[in-house]
Amino acid sequence: MYFNKEEERFVLEKIYHIGVEATLDVIGGKWKPIILCHLGKGPLRTGELKRRIPAITQKMLTQQLRELEADNIIIRQVYNQVPPKVEYSLSNEGKTLRHLLVAMSEWGEKRVQHLQAQGDNVALISKGHEGYLNF
């Protein structure tokens, strides 16, 4: 929210229709849940995340990390050393997503099983959600 001096009123910057929309604004997309799952196991450097998620481009990983940091879901810790060292970890707010992400993961696993039982050609690369359980 900000104050518009010309109109002399407060203006909302963003309006959500339902709470799920606000949630998906923060954790939605292809890569953010995967990043959060890996960070649930402990702090990681960018290179470590890239190795664990080989299909993501460096540009996309950097973008997703910046967005999660801007939303206070993760913490970027810069160490004053040579060569530079940067680690990412879950913030306290990020840790509150645990139950939601576990429930979504379990639902998705059941959904894939259902689709496979119908004969659909779908696969689930990782059937575990242990990263979420470690928050």
Domains and CATH numbers, the chain: 19-118 (1.10.10.10)
* pLDDT tens for the 135 residues of the chain, in order: 555 666 667 777 888 899 999 999 999 999 999 999 999 999 999 999 999 999 999 999 999 999 999 999 999 999 999 988 999 999 999 999 999 999 999 999 999 999 999 999 999 987 767 777 776
pTM: 0.84
User: Which string of DSSP letters, residue by residue, matches 16-38?
Assistant: -SSHHHHHHHHH-SSSHHHHHHH
3-state secondary structure of 134: coil
